[in-house]
């Protein structure tokens, strides 16, 4: 009887989101903290022509609205190595926005969506005009 009560109590608390492992609350800037790997591809406009674009890299987010990192990209087959710094905001619904400038002087910005408050994985879309670029990132 005691074991049945414990299982029933745990199941009830789990459904109500009251267990220690349940996701209480939502996301915030603190969701995006630690080391991440990322990559994506799509198209961008270079000198008025739509060309393929792909990238990958690593970044470190501080949980306070800033990240920095390095990576490589391929712009129509031309390889570019860069570093970057950016600011970000993560909303309580786990959506967010970032913007920054890389070491070549190129601006970048986009929208991100975390898959949950753990901050383990996110999906993203670059939002500069002329770009159709989808990417993902995951904690390293």
Structure-token match 């009830």, residue found: 12
The pTM assigned to this predicted structure is: 0.80
Three-class secondary structure of residue 33 per DSSP: strand
**Residues 6 or more apart from 71 whose CB is under 8 A from it?**
38, 55, 56, 57, 58, 59, 81, 82, 84
Low-confidence spans in the chain with pLDDT less than 50: 1-24
- Which pLDDT value is given to residue 25? 64
| CA–CA dist 61, 33 (Å, integer) | 5
| CA–CA dist 72, 103 (Å, integer) | 12
| CA–CA dist 60, 36 (Å, integer) | 6
CATH 2.40.160.90 for the 26-139 domain, yes or no = yes
- Which pLDDT value is given to residue 5? 40
**Residue (of 39, 15, 33, 21) closest to 88 by Cα position:** 33
Q: How far is CA 47 from the centre of its chain?
A: 29
Q: What is the pLDDT of residues 81-104, one digit of tens each?
A: 999 999 999 999 999 999 999 999
Structure-token match 């029933």, residue found: 8
Residue 17 · residue 117 · CB < 8 Å: no
- Which pLDDT value is given to residue 108? 96
Q: What are the residue boundaries of the structural domains of the chain, listed by start? A: 26-139
């Amino acid at each position: 009887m005691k074991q049945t009560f414990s299982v029933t109590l745990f199941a009830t608390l789990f459904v109500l989101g009251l267990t220690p492992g349940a996701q209480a609350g939502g996301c915030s800037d603190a969701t995006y903290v630690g080391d991440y790997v990322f990559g994506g591809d799509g198209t961008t406009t270079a000198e008025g022509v739509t060309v393929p674009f792909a990238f990958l890299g690593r970044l470190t987010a501080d949980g306070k609205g800033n990240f920095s990192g390095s990576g490589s990209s391929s712009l129509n087959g031309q390889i570019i190595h860069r570093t970057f710094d950016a600011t970000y905001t993560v909303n309580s619904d786990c959506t967010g926005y970032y913007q920054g400038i890389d070491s070549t002087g190129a601006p970048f910005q986009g929208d991100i969506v975390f898959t949950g408050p753990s901050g383990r994985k996110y999906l993203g879309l670059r939002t500069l005009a002329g770009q159709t670029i989808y990417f993902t990132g995951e904690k390293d």
